[in-house]
Amino acid sequence: MITLEDCQQRDAADALRPLRALFHLPQGLIYLDGNSLGPMPLAAVARAQDVVAREWGEGLIRSWNSADWFTMPQRLGARIAPLIGAAPDQVLVTDTTSVNLYKVLFAALAMARQDQPERRVVLSERSNFPTDLYIAHSLCAAQGFTLKLLEPHEIASALGADSAVLLLTHVNYRTGAMHDMAGVSAAARQAGALMVWDLAHSAGAVPVDLLAAGADFAVGCSYKYLNGGPGAPAFLWVHPQHSARFAQPLSGWWGHAAPFAFTPDYQPAPGVARYLCGTQPILSLALLDCGLDVFDQAQALGGMAALRAKSLALSELFIALVEQQCSDFGLGLATPRASAERGSQVSLTRAHGAGGHAIMQALIARGVIGDFRAGDGAEQLDILRFGLAPLYLRFEDLWHAVDHLRQVLARGEWQQAQFQRAHAVT
């Protein structure tokens, strides 16, 4: 029997607990949606005010030089690099995850077309995040490749002589299931295919080592576990052996070798800098800087290894509490039990159409914020997602969250009319 006192004792022994004080967490809320949008670092308000009032207001255009706005994509990329197992000069922060995926997948297809023209198949998971599949489909259709969608257990056997690129998300957005990055990348490499990873649900939550895994390209999001703010710019990584081979398709002036030479012909910048396109969103980049400051402090407390250990402890506790308190209410578990196969979230299942969305809305009304992903009514179950970010969550938070869940289910609160209304964002 797990008690509230047990959870409080674990919090008292948690070496990472000082990090919670670096975030603005509204009183009375238990925030379990950092896998969709991370909370605001306390330093963000002052930083935004400084960028607006001093750097923009007083510095004006001079701040491209005096405040070093111009190199922010590279400087922030260098800060993300150690979190994903990359060298500082291999990562850029720019554009959105979808745009960055378009750029790197375009480059990967160009490489395949030049080096191995007989390979015309791009492989991905059927349950991959939809925007990844949309981008892949549009590029394949435009360039004469075939997109083949697979179940996770089919990936290894599907890699073959016709495989050009394997595109996967490291941690599945619905279930929280995590691929063996090194093993899958090795299988792709052995089959002669290029490996592209989406790290949107990995970066800042689980250890990632792109170089050691032998991956080729990666993209990722900065407004989830990196706490960069809503719509914060994404990042991309290109293995150094590929970074100078092709000009990416969005050949804007920021990716030019000499952008202020203003020549009419395009000459791509050396290395990963060629993956830049247009003028950067300085305010958003500055706020991401605050999110990354937290990871500098986390490094002194054990870094990603310590964060991963706490993440696993949180998810194991959450699963155990749900099974202890909510076993009679028709909930299942979509997230793998094996720690090596689990990211930093727990996804509970509910039969399609059996009130999953309403249950989450009732929880949110109680101050427990997670989110909902609908199934298709045939092969999938509805998903209630709970992100377990180790930077700021307490073990006590999970005890209270599951107690609220039990009350919502036991009292039938989710059946109230106010929780049946659909919202634009679920």
| CATH number of the domain to which 244 belongs | 3.40.640.10
Q: Are 91 and 210 in a shared domain?
A: yes
Angle at 21 between CA 15 and CA 24, to 5 degrees: 140
288 & 319 share domain = no
pLDDT band at 376 (very low <50, low <70, confident <90, very high): low
Contacts of 329 (CB under 8 A, 6+ apart): 406, 409, 410
Strands across the sheet with 91-93, in order? 91-93, 235-238, 217-220, 194-198, 163-169, 121-125, 146-150
Closest CA to 255 of 99, 373, 395, 148: 99
Are residue 97 and residue 226 in the same domain, yes or no? yes
Residues 102 and 162 in one domain: yes
How far is residue 20's CA from residue 243's CA, in Å, rounded to a whole number? 38
**Percent of the chain topping pLDDT 70:** 99
- Please report which residue ranges of 368-410 form alpha helices under DSSP H: 395-410
Contacts of 416 (CB under 8 A, 6+ apart): 358, 362
Establish if 424 belongs to a structural domain. no
Band (pLDDT 50/70/90 cuts) for residue 378 is low
pLDDT at 377 over 60: no
Q: Which helix (H) or strand (E) holds 134?
A: helix 130-143
How confident is the model over 17-38, as a mean pLDDT? 97
pLDDT digits (tens, 9 = 90+) for 34-47: 999 999 999 999 99
| Other beta carbons within 10 Å of 252 | 14
Average confidence (pLDDT) over 208-227: 98
- What are the phi and psi torsion angles at 358 (to 5°)? -65, -35
Last residue of a domain, one of 244, 279, 296: 296
**Do 215 and 360 lie in a common domain?**
no
Q: What is the pLDDT of residue 379?
A: 59
Structure tokens at 108: 């990967």
- What is the domain range of residue 213? 69-296
Q: Do 206 and 222 belong together in one domain?
A: yes
Domain boundary among 280, 296, 312: 296
324 and 269 belong to one structural domain: no
Of 65-79, 115-129, 227-241, 363-377, which gets the smallest average pLDDT? 363-377
Domain end, chosen from 257, 276, 296, is at 296
Rg (CA), the chain: 22
pLDDT of residue 352: 83
- Distance, in Å, from the CA atom of 69 to the CA atom of 286, rounded to the nearest integer, reads 9
Any domain includes 88? yes
**What is the spatial distance between Cα 167 and Cα 150, in angstroms, rounded to a whole number?**
11
Q: Is residue 54 part of a domain?
A: no
pLDDT in tens, 230-269: 999 999 999 999 988 877 899 999 999 999 999 999 999 9
| Domain contains 289 | yes
Rounded to whole angstroms, the Cα distance separating 119 from 109 reads 10
Q: Identify the band that residue 339 occupies on the pLDDT scale cut at 50, 70 and 90.
A: very high
* Catalytic residue positions, numbered: 129, 198, 223-224, 385
pLDDT > 90? residue 189: yes
For the chain, the average pLDDT equals: 96
Q: 70 is written with which tokens?
A: 């111009």
Q: pLDDT of 303-336, one tens digit each?
A: 999 999 999 999 999 999 999 999 999 999 999 9
In a domain, 50, yes or no: no
196 — pLDDT class (breaks 50, 70, 90): very high
Q: Do 95 and 208 sit in the same domain of this protein?
A: yes
Rounded Cα distance between 325 and 357, Å, is: 20
**CATH (domain of 28):** 3.90.1150.10
Domain co-membership, 82 together with 210: yes
pLDDT on residue 375: 82
Q: Is residue 256 part of a domain?
A: yes
Condensed to tens digits (0 to 9), the pLDDT of residues 51-94 reads 999 999 999 999 999 999 999 999 999 999 999 999 999 999 99
- CB of 217 within 8 A of CB of 106? no
Does a structural domain hold residue 63? no
Contacts 24+ apart (CB under 8 A), 55-59: 55/282, 56/282
| pLDDT interval class at 118 (50, 70, 90) | very high
Residues 51, 44 contacting (CB under 8 angstroms): no
266 and 119 assigned to the same domain: yes
- The H or E element spanning position 140 is helix 130-143
CA distances to 39, 93, 170, 303 from 44, in Å: 10, 18, 29, 22
Kindly state the percentage of the chain with pLDDT values over 90. Answer: 93
Residues 326 and 354: their CA atoms lie apart, in Å, by 16
Instruction: Name the phi and psi angles at 347, rounded to 5.
Output: -115, 120
How remote is the C-alpha of 259 from its chain's centroid? 31
- How many domains are contained in the chain? 2
Domain shared by 292 and 144, yes or no: yes
Helices 4-12/395-410 angle, 10° precision = 160
Asked if residue 188 and residue 265 are part of one domain, the reply reads yes
Length of the chain: 426
Rounded Cα gap, residues 187 and 181, in angstroms: 10
60 in any annotated domain? no
The model's pLDDT over 162-172, given as tens digits with 9 standing for 90+, comes to 999 999 999 99
